[in-house]
Amino acid sequence: MILTVTLNTAVDRIFRIARLEPNRTLRSQPVVISPAGKGVCASLVAATLGYPTLALGFIAGASGQWLAAQLRQRGAHTAFVEVEGETRWNIVILGEEDHTHTTLTAEALRVRPEHVQALRQHFADHLDEARCVVFGGSAPADVSPAVIADLIAAARAHKVPVVLDASGEVLRQGIRAAPTWVKPNREELELLSATPVRSPDEALRAAHALQRQFGCNVLASLGEQGAVAVTAAGAWRIAPLRVPVVNPAGAGDAMVAGLALGLAQGWALEESLRWATAAASATVSFLGTAELTREAVLALLPQVQISPL
């Protein structure tokens, strides 16, 4: 089972317009609503690919109940802690003519110490079943980022592989707990390395530095420039796949799910990277956040090019 943890769950409302123009009323095509939050999306992708997954984290209100129901409907299991407030709504605006992707979000969860303790207990209760753990996203304002670091340490003590796909202070503190893999995008890689990342070569140098400093493997996603992977044993460059882009939201989460799938099943590294790349590439061609089909992923697998460096 892949266990995912999302402290700050969300629901995406996706609007498609011609272009984003201020001070005007813009007409959207029919709105698509999707579960969101990095770990949530990883669970959705893993379940779609046919692997058992359990989603943990915080939900609240009607939007939280809808999110949990959608996960279960798509084949994932859930054990969320219900808190106060409301699972946040994200407004995702896709500009089809100017190829823009804009997200508006606001904090809405209110988490108390007893909720955090309940999450810790849920995690401990299910850790023995886990073959891989994914930690994704940010932390609500009431939750210390150190919670993720603690849970990473617990998973590593159980010798369960961990993938960290977070942002901000959760990423800074989480990487110090030595996850097996960290999956930054370009901006997050720059945050961690404190250096500009403008090319795959610069990404490789930054990833090597992180690997040496923290001892974790690094899979850095670079959008149209593909991805790079670095471990203590070597480095790989992954070429981008040319696919039609409808909605890039959730591509990084799908990449994490593909990597976690390989870790959970003990695949060779290059096979895991192949599934990670195919999953990330498949999801951008669908309108919903982290939406894909297993058939789309299988069709892309033979096209993935991974070059050892």
Instruction: Tell me what pLDDT residue 280 has.
Output: 97
Position 25 pLDDT exceeds 90: no
Distance CA 206, CA 208 (A): 5
Contact (CB, 8 A) for 293 and 275: no
The CATH number given to whatever domain includes residue 195 is 3.40.1190.20
Position 26 pLDDT exceeds 80: no
Q: Per residue, what are the HEC states of the chain?
A: CEEEEECCCEEEEEEEECCCCCCCCCCCCCCEEEEECHHHHHHHHHHHCCCCEEEEEEECHHHHHHHHHHHHHCCCEECCEECEECCEEEEEEEECCCCEEEEECCCCEECCHHHHHHHHHHHHHHHHHCCEEEEEECCCCCCCCHHHHHHHHHHHHCCCCEEEEECHHHHHHHHCCCCCEECCEHHHHHHHHCCCCCCHHHHHHHHHHHHHHHCCEEEEECHHHCEEEEECCEEEEECCCCCCCCCCCCHHHHHHHHHHHHHHHCCCHHHHHHHHHHHHHHHCCCCCCCCCCHHHHHHHHHHCCEEEC
Distance CA 17, CA 98 (A): 10
pLDDT tens digits, one per residue of 234-280: 999 999 999 999 999 899 999 999 999 999 999 999 999 999 999 99
Instruction: Tell me what pLDDT residue 180 has.
Output: 98
Position 106 pLDDT exceeds 90: no
The number of distinct structural domains making up the chain is 1
Position 108 pLDDT exceeds 80: yes
More confident residue, 130 or 31: 130
Distance CA 305, CA 56 (A): 34
Distance CA 69, CA 8 (A): 17
Position 29 pLDDT exceeds 80: no
Instruction: Tell me what pLDDT residue 232 has.
Output: 96
pLDDT band, very low/low/confident/very high, at 24 (cuts 50, 70, 90): confident
Domain carrying residue 277:
2-308
Position 116 pLDDT exceeds 80: yes
pLDDT band, very low/low/confident/very high, at 31 (cuts 50, 70, 90): confident
Q: What percent of the chain has pLDDT over 70?
A: 100
Pair of tokens at residue 139: 């932390």
Q: Tell me the angle at which helices 186-193 and 168-175 cross, rounded to the nearest 10 degrees.
A: 60
Position 129 pLDDT exceeds 80: yes
Rounded to an integer, the average pLDDT of 38-55 is 97
pLDDT band, very low/low/confident/very high, at 63 (cuts 50, 70, 90): very high
Position 115 pLDDT exceeds 90: yes
